[in-house]
Structure 1
Amino acid sequence: MAWSRASLLAVVLVAVALPVMAAAVNWSRLMEPWPDPAALADIPGTPVSWASSSPFAPDDIGDPGEAPTTTALGRLYLPQGPHEPRSIPAVILLHGSGGVLASRELTYAPQLAHMRVAALVVDSFGARRDRGTEFIERVLNITETMMLADAYSGLGFLATRPEIDPRRVVLTGFSYGAMATMYALYAQIADKLAPTLPGGERPRFAGHAAFYGPCIARFDDSRTTGAPLLMLLGGKDQITDQRRCAEVADDLRRGCSPVETIVYPEAVHQWDGAFAPRLIGRNLAGCSFRVEHDGTIRDTHTGLAMSGPFRRKIILGLCTLGAGPYPIGRDDRVRAQASLDYGRFLASVFAASARP
């Protein structure tokens, strides 16, 4: 297991902050073995919806013609009440390219609620069935930028809940959703998409956590919101290039965000899924994009701008030409350790951003 100095510092910060917050929430529970999902049937979650939009790329954000209004869909899991106003922190979960999974988002969410953290599971694919229902259709037509719109509008939705503290919301994504989670950290994105609350405040996420996220895009403007990022990677994950992820992490640090990277040496992609080890899909590790200052996504190999589904199909087809499948595989040992590492990160973020 690879530990950074930031990991040790986070543990120290949590140890200092926990006594201050003990009266509100026992944050140490997040750093203990997570509850057995089979025992959480009494936390089913509630279907919810809220107003969002569907920009294809960052340069489409705010343009009604290119970012049509969309009703976002999700499922909200709340800790058992009653709750004091603004007393509950929250997590927003963004799914991977396979959509919302029972073994992943719908397992983490009730676990978090049991530990006194609200969880909003966003279903970006379910909200846009008119754009595609098959795997390839969805990946070509439902983009990371649309997931970003759902994430930030979801933050605004959570702020309307009287029990949830919008200053303590962590964005968490898996694979495809992890890419959006990392992009959401850039000021260029947050400045355009952050919701406006009744008092005029425009909250950002208190933290970002990316589970096995491919590091395909780098931003020309590396400024961030300043929130911390946790990157959890598999040492044998062929779709996440660790060298590229290190470059992205350095970009974000230059942009003023602390970044912690933990690598699980034997893990492949989607260690928290339901499937035994197998090969799937086409490896995207050879793809490389740049997000320009105006929000244009440009393929670094061809120079083409990803300006719509047709261009996206061409670019993805070229950068995966000749690429084979990549391995995925459930690993309960890695999942248990990743949950502890993620829980430690959540505890440190929630304690650091707690209301006085």
Structure 2
Amino acid sequence: MPDLALPWPDAALEGRSGGTAISFASRSPFALSNVGNGPEESPETDGLGQLYLPPGASEENPVPAVVILHGASGVQSVRELTYARQFAARGVAALVIDVFGARRDRATGFVNRLLQITEAMFLADAYAGLKHLAARPEIDAGRIALIGFSYGGMVATYAAYAQVAERYAPEGQRFAAHVAFYAPCIAEFQDSRATGAPLLMLYGGRDAIVDPERCARVAEQLEEGGTTVETIVYPEAVHQWDGRFAGERQIGRNLADCRFVVESDGTVRDRWLWLPMSSVFYRRVILGLCTDEEGYLIGRNDEVRAQANEALGSFLAPILLGGES
């Protein structure tokens, strides 16, 4: 019987095998406005992932599932793979998507990946993963949630907008729920219509990459668009409380000062210069101007992780398990 109650996830599962490498048909649009415009603007790509199936999952016993999106550092065993193993151990299938791994020919290295592998590509793999899972007989197609961490959490939020879902899944597949772990709220949609699937936003009170006021505004807009949003803030937490590094350390470039607007036609623009995020050149210019070189703090915090896991299980249980947990 599926169960998302604590203790969850179990750190003892870190590093264990159990997933199966899979590939699925996806695409690589640079921008949201490129989606659906043919192979030149949205070339075919083989999406890559690790699929974790619970024991007993079958056509006679289809199980709920989650699609998991990594952050800017890529797939981590301590985070994405641990959650996937624990979901499977609790009776929920998990597909960890490796967006960067599927596009190694496009970019390598941290900075180049972020310039050339875009949110639109993350979204393409997320919806392609949803389509793949929904077609598998051992998966309950109506109970598939999307979970993202940091960069992937930002994408999990975008996927809750109807405008996005209609572009990537015009045939009607939709996620049953969305979860964003410590996701920067740097974009607002002119078209605030939502898919109706609920969203859970989790972030730390000391996370310099997350602007609480803008996250509140995004939540309000999505609620006006037709969905419910639950926000939980952990006052003492910094970024990536479930990552590999114990103790706090400064990393990266901070995106908190970036401001983007997603127009109704899918064009993403910088709010200050109104430049379109339509090419690697423009993306480099825009991000170069709005990011802060001082970076932000990350730090593993097992107490916060346990609290967030409890919140995650409580949020997902009535959606994926029909209240069983």
* TM above 0.5: yes
Within 1, Cα distance between the matches of 2:22 and 2:82?
Answer: 18
For each residue in 1:21-46, what CA deviation from the matched residue of structure 2 results, as whole angstroms up to 9, or x when unmatched?
xxxx34xx312211523257765200
Give the 3-state SS of the residue equivalent to 2:108 in structure 1: coil
Q: Is 1:130 matched up with 2:105?
A: yes
Closer/same/farther in 2, CA of residues 299 and 82 from structure 1, 3 Å limit: closer
Amino acid aligned to 1:225 = T
2:26 corresponds in structure 1 to 52
1:303 corresponds in structure 2 to 274
1:140 corresponds in structure 2 to 115
Contact kept in structure 2, 1:73 and 1:123, CA below 8 Å? yes
Within 2, Cα distance between the matches of 1:74 and 1:160?
Answer: 16
Runs of at least 5 residues in structure 2 that lack an aligned partner in the other structure: none
Instruction: Specify which of 249, 262, 280 is matched with residue 278 of structure 1.
Output: 249
Contact kept in structure 1, 2:13 and 2:86, CA below 8 Å? no
Count the aligned residue pairs: 322
1:110 corresponds in structure 2 to 85
1:182 corresponds in structure 2 to 157
Runs of at least 5 residues in structure 1 that lack an aligned partner in the other structure: 1-24, 197-201
1:224 corresponds in structure 2 to 194
Percent identity, aligned pairs only?
58
Matches within 5 A, 1:198-209: 202-209=172-179
Contact kept in structure 1, 2:14 and 2:81, CA below 8 Å? no
Within 2, Cα distance between the matches of 1:31 and 1:175?
Answer: 24
Contact kept in structure 2, 1:239 and 1:283, CA below 8 Å? yes
RMSD: 1.6
Amino acid aligned to 1:259 = V
1:344 corresponds in structure 2 to 314
For each residue in 1:47-66, what CA deviation from the matched residue of structure 2 results, as whole angstroms up to 9, or x when unmatched?
00000000111100012211
**Superposition TM-score, scaled by structure 1 size:** 0.87
Q: Which ranges of 4 or more aligned residues in structure 1 deviate by more than 2 Å?
A: 35-43, 82-87, 351-354
Within 1, Cα distance between the matches of 2:270 and 2:124?
Answer: 22
Instruction: Specify which of 33, 54, 57 is matched with residue 7 of structure 2.
Output: 33
Amino acid aligned to 1:129 = R
Give the 3-state SS of the residue equivalent to 1:52 in structure 2: strand
Q: Is 1:254 matched up with 2:224?
A: yes
Instruction: Specify which of 28, 50, 56 is matched with residue 81 of structure 1.
Output: 56
| 1:82 CA drift (Å) | 5.0
Amino acid aligned to 2:146 = L
2:205 corresponds in structure 1 to 235
Closer/same/farther in 2, CA of residues 309 and 75 from structure 1, 3 Å limit: same
Amino acid aligned to 1:341 = A
Give the 3-state SS of the residue equivalent to 1:121 in structure 2: strand
